[in-house]
A and B are shown apart, each in its own frame.
Chain A
Amino acid sequence: MTSGIRLVIPAQPEYLSLVRAVVAAAAALDPGLGDDRIEDLRIAVSEATTNAIEAHANLGSRERITIRCDLAEDRIEVEVEDHADPHFDIGELDSPGALDRPGRLEYEGGMGIPLMRVLADEMKIRSLDHGTAVQLVVYAAGPKQE
């Protein structure tokens, strides 16, 4: 049994704080998620939404961004879907150690995706016909053991 909400926002940075507030409030409905996990999710969702806003801005797109939040007993899933052309080179992203790469801190950007990977228990990026969807999952009990 899951329950969920859907938030559709203009692709503008001013809406980021609203997204964080809604996702954190939704996550707080799950009594199993502690404050630290909610904070992890809040940051990860903000990073995904920031990337979506940037992608829209780069294309001059006026489409909206959709954030879906599904609560299940053991986890919360959030999906951020943009309407920019697929903008991630998914092959390039498969580098969990990216934050520790030597010389990494010479660059001011590019921390968002590695940060999402470590803050969420699962992160999946899907290319859609009209854009990209980033799914973030946080489990109440912590990361699932493979």
Chain B
Amino acid sequence: MLSVSSSESGRWRILHVRGEIDMATCPILRQEIVGEIGQGHRHLVVDLAGVDFVDSTGLGVLIGGLKRARSQGGDLRVSGVSGHLRRIFDLTGLHRVFAVVELDRPDEVVEARSGSNQP
């Protein structure tokens, strides 16, 4: 199951995602992101703190959302990327593509590193 709720922080619309993001549930997230951008919320933070699992399908939805937001002059950032999720971002190179931020400072790119996993 996947659920998405939203909140605001300045110009940023924050999507709080809970559950597992895979082929079965990613249409929900895609629809939320597309819907928000369609309503003019071009600056999005996808908060992944409540996400137990994400696979390449879910990562593809985030990449698609990023491209869509940027094409509208906005941006899509992520937060709550820790533990195994951080490892997946590192392995796929997405840590270089997405700005990883803290929710109370979405305008700032937080250089979150995976600590001891770094070479």
Chain A residues at the B interface, C-beta cutoff of 8 Å: 13-14, 16-17, 20, 36, 39, 42-43, 46-47, 50, 53-54, 99-100, 104-105, 107-112, 114-115, 118-119
Contact = CB atoms under 8 A, between A and B. Distances in A.
20 contacts: A13-B23, A16-B22, A17-B22, A17-B24, A36-B84, A42-B53, A43-B84, A43-B88, A50-B57, A99-B93, A105-B63, A108-B61, A109-B56, A109-B60, A111-B59, A111-B92, A112-B55, A112-B56, A118-B91, A119-B91
A14 B57 CA distance: 14
Contact of B55 (A43, A54, A104, A110): A43
Nearest to A35: B84
Interface string B92-119: 1110010000000000000000000000
Contacts of B84: 36, 39, 43
A46 B58 CA distance: 12
Given A99-B93, A115-B56, A119-B91, 4 more contacts: A16-B23, A20-B53, A43-B88, A50-B57
Contacts, number: 65
Contacts of A118: 91
Candidate in A17, A118, A119 with the most chain B CB atoms within 10 angstroms: A17
Contact of A46 (B55, B63, B94, B97): B55
Interface of A is mostly: helix
Contacts of A43: 53, 55, 84, 88
Query: What 4 pairs between A and B have smallest CB-CB spacing?
Result: A13-B24, A111-B56, A108-B60, A13-B23
A98 B113 CA distance: 22
Contacts of B22: 13, 16-17, 46, 50
B108 to A, nearest CB: 23
Given A42-B53, A43-B88, A108 B63 contact: yes
A46 B94 CA distance: 19
Given A13-B23, A14-B24, A108-B63, A47 B56 contact: yes
B64 interface: yes
B20 interface: yes
Given A43-B88, A111-B59, A119-B91, A17 B23 contact: no
Interface in B1-42: 20, 22-24
Contacts of B23: 13, 16, 50, 53-54
A32 to B, nearest CB: 19
Contacts of A105: 63, 93-94, 97
